[in-house]
Amino acid sequence: MAGGRLGENIGMREELIKKASSLAMKAHRSPGKPFLSEKSRGSPEIIIAFPGSWSVGDWFSGRSFGETKVDNLFPSVRSIGNDEVGLANEAFIRRFKEILRSLENEVKKAERRQIIFAGHSSGGPIAILATLWFLEESLKPNSSPIPPLCVTFGSPLTGDRMFPHALRRESWAHYFIHFVMKYDIVPRIMLSPFSSIERELATILSFFNPKSANFEQQSIGRDNMTLNFFMIVMRNASSLASHAACNLMGCTNLLLETVTNFIELSPYRPFGTYIFCTRNGELVVVKNPDAVLQLLFYCLQLSSEAEDKALVAYTSLQEHLVYERELQESLEMQNVVYLDLLEELPLSSDVSSSINRALNELGLSTRARLCLRCCWREYKTGCEVRQIGYYDAFKLQKEDRDFHANVARLELAGMWDEIIEMLRRYELPDGFECRKEWIKLGTNYRRLVEPLDIANYYRHLKNEDTGPYLIKGRPKRYKYTQKWREHAERLSIGSGSESCFWAEVEELRTSNNGSFDAMEDRILQFEQRVYRWVSAQELGKDVFLDEATFMKWWKKNLPSQHREASCLKKFIGG
Amino acid sequence: METEASSFETSEMLATFLATTPLLLESWKLCSHANTAAAQSFVVNRIGDVTYVAFSGVQMVSGLDPSCRNLVPLVHSAPNGLFSALNRHGDGEEPVMVHAGLLHLFLSICPNFLNQMFQIRKNSKLVVITGHSIGGTLASLSALCLLSDLQFMMVSSLSVLCITFGSPLLGNESLSRAILQERWGGSFCHVVAKYDIVPRLLLAPLAPLTSQLHILLQFWQLSMNSPFFRELSHQLPDNETSELFHFLLEYLVKAGEESARNSYWPFGNYMFCTDEGAVCVDNAMAVVKLLHLMFAMGSASYSIEDHLKYEDYVRKVTLQFSERRGHKQGELPEYSYEAGITLALQSSGISTHEPVSGPAKDCLKMAKRMGRAPNLNCTNLAIGLSKINPLRAQIEWYKALCDESDEQMGYYDTFKQRVASRRDSKVNMNRIKLARFWNDLIQMWESNQLPHDFLKRGKWVNASQFYKLLVEPLDIAEYYRSGMHPSKGHYLRNGRERRYEIFDRWWRDRRIGEEENDKRSKFASLTQDTCFWARVEEARELLDNARSERDPMKLSLLWNNIDQFEQYARRLVERKEVSRDVVAKNSSYSLWVEALKELKSRLHQQLPPQL
């Protein structure tokens, strides 16, 4: 588990981290400003730090975990094939939108400098969303080629599992760096439903607020309410961690599913690089989101029944406010441990090694270590999927009248269905849907085989059994592969459906008794799409052969003035 | 590429998860309340979205009375088809049986319970049914009754979880198996204290110890009802309790070994609670062995007191999450799985130098399902499906050929009257291979080797339906071709394979909202009622009988049935829900229609003019 100095490993200089942490704390003390920015002369970076907020409404809104669908601000935070949209904390999104206008101006001023977005506490989520927004912007043409960085200190969790999935797929995850003190309660708060901590949260937040009378008050920290709050947050973190561990360990007991129906589990998940810090200057770097989730819980556990729970609860508040000071020291000491070979973690705490020293510092029991081990996932299934590569899809074309071609078509469909199934369960590597060779294979397969499936569908009149092909009958394997290509080439959604050409023709042929007037708009749109596909050579010109269904219909059913003016005219001879 | 299902032990992790949820503690609190405040009845309490129903452990003592120990068939002993989903027929299997006394007790409380449930279901989607001691068996029966009803009504909006504390066993191995097959095992969690004698009692014949049992039952019930009586435990006659303990221990040793037929058997999950933690096990054989091994570590007085100590166990296990719990003694294996087993053993309160630790370790290993992980199984099945699809395609091809053929018989009759041609025997071979594939799939589904959401995948439901539509007619043809029906009876009642009934259910339960299209412009590609041909065969027999029957009563009955079939078939044909092979000129259906016409006209001629 080598890795060298922290700064080199995570791609951010130590000195920059220290500056960011100071600026993030300073932002809290600068009322009225949406953020602070700092660029030192000659430095290639600019730091933008966001202040936190201490009102309950800025942490949770509405629903039990205060989550909402991320909207078009973050189009990448979704799964491609499954088309699931990510969830993020609604209150954080709202606060981010409030400052977006002025942030845009600030970002323009950065010119050719790298931007570091930073935030402490609830300033963290704003820094995260700002970074994400910046990354989304950078996909547009003529945008800054310099990737940003995001560094947070004791930030609450911000988004659901779609965040780690999408960020790893887009190779953005390593831009996000999160520092978390071992006992800091704040990064764990979002693991509890709001209803369970509603009574205590306002007081707890006032403890962190420099302008509140309760700021760092022992009377709050030592209060029974704090202990109560700590236990509730820990219990919910434990539920989520043990539930995740059961699944990762491959528990097949049906009880797991039944019980899950009865309780609320937080949707929030960590992503990016986490650095767990102890008061003794130990820095533990974890990049696996599942392992981070386990650590968020297990670090909180008390060492024994005898340990003073109330004291630990008090510490869990205090540690939220020590980042600036602690990091100054820890970054000097460079006691850094990288937890990446999770499956080889030592289980027993008495072996002496640097890893074990760090794990013991974090207070990880054997059970905790087993839970970390199970986060290591090997995508064995991926190998099985590879079989599909052996099939030469092009062979199909030459002998498509042959029974064997049909057999090969069925077998191939089975393979593709399995890939889709694994994607649906998020069992393939996050970046799978962006891999060039798979997009190419999928597109070829789709263009070649889908027309055969459509022909079969309408020949067997399945449209009368189940409904139109495009709505009811289209297999997922085509929908997914189409979406992969649309995502990779940044096409608008639905525009890459050239392989459905024949299904659209069949539907046009049979709907509205073929009357032209009722469908004029639909036909015009369709023709434009066909024009585009044929021009781009995504669709072969053989569709214009006189004998093909399309031409028969086009010539017989459409009025001649329409045909004369049609954009397809130039492709159609005579 | 064979891979181990998983290299981790999860029985302890699952128990940890369960213990961090509020479900366990809230259930126990209500049980305890029901014990003191609702003797011979139950109480209801709603917390958030979850409604808890707790049956009191204080019930009429006859519940465990040895005279009532005998098992009675569940489905037939309960009125109004209460447990109809557990009906198992055929296969020469023992019927599902439960404890007569406990069933009787449940039936007396049942109308009241169903009334309450009717109210609860109006505004609650999550129901936890719970109970301590005998209350636990009442909770299990209530949950079974509810699950059976939900399945019958095809409702899936209600989730049911049954949590019992120190419940006696309820039924036989068939019950356990039926619950597995219905995939209800995840709805039952029996919490058992390490030494508690009650969950073990029914593994032994108790007749010789009636009097001791009576004293004990009375003691427990009094103590549950009012904690004051707990002080009396030392007044229990020592020698008699110890006699009971040793008597039971003797039977427990053998319990796992002997054939379990005709005796009690656990079902669902068992959550064993000890001072050290908890483990959750759902393999019935492992449960029986653990029941024995833990009991053997106790003593007579522990075994009796533990039945009243659920309060302590539940509080302890629900607070355990907050502490770091490491490995306590001995060498810790370096492999994740072995280490997990060692920790689970520790949570079961069995230390490594204990003599029972070896067998207990084997139990935990046995409880873990070996073989590939469900998702991998599913992948393999998908590949299997794509490999057998060509076989199905060949049958489709065969059907198309028959439809085109000059003989105009359709594939049903062609197959039924086949002479040994290579083509026909190939089709028969395919039919058998397909049946094997689907039977294996059902077996995997029922033994929980497939992912939970298997049936939510349209692919499998659609594939099974399509298989059924295409191949069941051939199975019917084979049944009548090989002359099974004179000996076994007609296909519909006696010959239909269980897989088709299961596929019927899958198809019925699939996502609603897929409205059937009822306008067809052509005959369907496959007949939509797959039993159509079986009905034709029965109608043929009816017609034959009608020709020869002389008794006017019987004759009118026959004609009644013939008319019914005729109307049914005509409607299908009119709505084009049959495939074209049904109306082929020489199909047995067309021949039957002709025969009917002929018979009718002959009857008309025979009729005396005055009528």
Q: How far is A453 from chain B (nearest CA, A)?
A: 14
Which of helix, strand or coil describes residue B272? strand
In this prediction, residues B197-221 reach a mean pLDDT of: 84
Cβ–Cβ under 8 Å, residues B431 and B477: no
Mean pLDDT, chain A, as a whole number? 86
pLDDT at B609: 52
B339 touches chain A (CB under 8 A): yes
DSSP H/E element including A67: strand A67-69
Q: Is the pLDDT score of B259 beyond 70?
A: no
CB-count burial class (<10 Å; 0-12, 13-18, 19+) for B345: buried
Mean pLDDT, chain B, as a whole number? 85
Query: Cβ separation of A370 and B8 shorter than 8 Å?
Result: yes
Cβ–Cβ under 8 Å, residues B540 and B592: yes
Chain B residue with the nearest C-alpha to that of A424: B457
pLDDT at A54: 92
In this prediction, residues A215-219 reach a mean pLDDT of: 93
Under the banding of pLDDT at 50, 70 and 90, the label for residue B230 is low
End-to-end CA distance of chain A: 72
Closest to A349 (Cβ–Cβ): which among B12, B161, B326? B326
Query: Cβ separation of B325 and A365 shorter than 8 Å?
Result: yes
pLDDT at A152: 97
pLDDT at A185: 97
Query: Cβ separation of B522 and A461 shorter than 8 Å?
Result: yes
Query: Cβ separation of B322 and A234 shorter than 8 Å?
Result: yes
CA dihedral sign, ordered B523, B526, B532, B534: positive
Which of helix, strand or coil describes residue A65? coil
B517 touches chain A (CB under 8 A): yes
Catalytic residue from among A120, A165, A178, A320? A320
In this prediction, residues A146-153 reach a mean pLDDT of: 95
Q: Is the pLDDT score of A402 beyond 80?
A: no
Which chain B residues are Cβ-neighbours of A248 within 8 angstroms? 8
Q: Is the pLDDT score of A306 beyond 80?
A: no
pLDDT at B263: 83
Chain A residue with the nearest C-alpha to that of B397: A403
Encoded tokens for B564: 């019914």
Q: Which of A359, A367, A513 to mutate to test the interface with B (most CBs of B within 10 A)?
A: A367
pLDDT at B325: 81
Q: Is the pLDDT score of B610 beyond 70?
A: no
Task: Quote the strand ranges of A92-221, DSSP E.
Answer: 114-120, 149-153, 176-181
Closest to A418 (Cβ–Cβ): which among B12, B379, B397? B379
Q: How far is B257 from chain A (nearest CA, A)?
A: 25
B397 touches chain A (CB under 8 A): yes
CB-count burial class (<10 Å; 0-12, 13-18, 19+) for B520: middle
Shortest CA distance to B528 belongs to which of B572, B570, B577, B455?
A: B577
Cβ–Cβ under 8 Å, residues A253 and B150: no
pLDDT at A296: 97
In this prediction, residues B176-202 reach a mean pLDDT of: 91
For chain B, list the domains and their CATH numbers.
8-355 (3.40.50.1820), 387-606 (no CATH)
What is the residue whose two structure tokens read 């025997």?
A: B425
Q: Is the pLDDT score of A395 beyond 50?
A: no
Which chain A residues are Cβ-neighbours of B383 within 8 angstroms? 414-415, 418
Specify which of A517-521, B11-15, B201-205, B221-225 reaches the highest per-range mean pLDDT.
B11-15
Q: Is the pLDDT score of B1 beyond 50?
A: no
Lowest mean pLDDT across A235-249, B271-285, B480-494: B480-494
Chain A residue with the nearest C-alpha to that of B337: A370
Distance between CA B279 and CA B349 in Å, rounded?
A: 10
pLDDT at A269: 97
Under the banding of pLDDT at 50, 70 and 90, the label for residue B226 is confident
pLDDT at B69: 66
pLDDT at B262: 55
Q: Is the pLDDT score of A325 beyond 60?
A: yes
Closest to B452 (Cβ–Cβ): which among A257, A309, A427? A257
Chain centroid to Cα A78, Å, comes to: 6
Which chain A residues are Cβ-neighbours of B185 within 8 angstroms? 254-255
In this prediction, residues A389-398 reach a mean pLDDT of: 41
What is the residue whose two structure tokens read 């190419």?
A: A440
For chain A, list the domains and their CATH numbers.
3-326 (3.40.50), 345-573 (no CATH)
pLDDT at B18: 96
Threshold 0.90, pTM exceeds: no
Model confidence over B360-381: pLDDT tens digits?
Answer: 888 888 777 655 567 677 777 8
Distance between CA B308 and CA B35 in Å, rounded?
A: 11
Which chain A residues are Cβ-neighbours of B286 within 8 angstroms? none
Closest to B13 (Cβ–Cβ): which among A251, A347, A464? A251
Strand partners, A46: A115
Distance between CA A310 and CA A497 in Å, rounded?
A: 61
Under the banding of pLDDT at 50, 70 and 90, the label for residue B4 is very low
What is the residue whose two structure tokens read 């452990």?
A: B57
A276 or B253: whose pLDDT is higher?
A276
Model confidence over A72-130: pLDDT tens digits?
Answer: 889 999 998 888 999 999 999 999 999 999 999 999 888 788 999 999 999 999 999 99
Cβ–Cβ under 8 Å, residues A118 and A131: no
Model confidence over B440-466: pLDDT tens digits?
Answer: 998 888 877 787 677 767 778 888 988
Known catalytic residues of B? 133, 196, 307
Chain B residue with the nearest C-alpha to that of A457: B525
Which chain A residues are Cβ-neighbours of B1 within 8 angstroms? 380, 383-384
Closest to B517 (Cβ–Cβ): which among A242, A414, A465? A465
Chain B residue with the nearest C-alpha to that of A235: B20
Encoded tokens for A37: 């920015």
Q: Provide the chain B residues 151-210 that lie in CB contact (below 8 A) with chain A.
A: 159, 161, 183, 185-187, 189
pLDDT at A226: 95
Under the banding of pLDDT at 50, 70 and 90, the label for residue A384 is very low
Catalytic residue from among A22, A76, A121, A566? A121
Under the banding of pLDDT at 50, 70 and 90, the label for residue A400 is very low
Q: How far is B199 from chain A (nearest CA, A)?
A: 20
Lowest mean pLDDT across A441-445, B373-377, B567-571: B373-377
Which of helix, strand or coil describes residue A160? strand
Task: Give me the total of CB pairs closer than 8 Å, taking one residue from chain A and one from chain B.
Answer: 210
Q: Is the pLDDT score of B611 beyond 60?
A: no
Q: How far is A248 from chain B (nearest CA, A)?
A: 9
Q: Is the pLDDT score of B580 beyond 70?
A: yes
Q: What percent of chain A has pLDDT over 70?
A: 93
Query: Cβ separation of B186 and A381 shorter than 8 Å?
Result: no
Chain A residue with the nearest C-alpha to that of B327: A366
Chain B residue with the nearest C-alpha to that of A309: B322
Distance between CA A126 and CA A155 in Å, rounded?
A: 10
pLDDT at B154: 72
Locate all alpha helices (DSSP H) within B297-334, ordered by sequence: 300-305, 310-319
pLDDT at A399: 45
Query: Cβ separation of A253 and B326 shorter than 8 Å?
Result: no
- DSSP annotation string for A335-388: EEEEE--GGG--SSTTS-SHHHHHHHHHT--HHHHHHHHTT----HHHHHHGGG
Chain B residue with the nearest C-alpha to that of A372: B336
Shortest CA distance to B14 belongs to which of B23, B4, B5?
A: B23
Is A121 a known active-site residue? yes
Encoded tokens for A356: 């074990």
pLDDT at B200: 92
In this prediction, residues B280-284 reach a mean pLDDT of: 90
Specify which of B40-54, B76-90, B474-488 reaches the highest per-range mean pLDDT.
B40-54
Model confidence over A151-179: pLDDT tens digits?
Answer: 999 999 999 999 999 999 999 999 999 99
B26 touches chain A (CB under 8 A): no
Query: Cβ separation of A258 and B1 shorter than 8 Å?
Result: no
The C-alpha torsion from A206 through A211 and A216 to A221, rounded to 10°, is -20
Query: Cβ separation of B375 and A249 shorter than 8 Å?
Result: no
Which chain A residues are Cβ-neighbours of B325 within 8 angstroms? 365, 367
CA dihedral sign, ordered B294, B297, B303, B306: negative
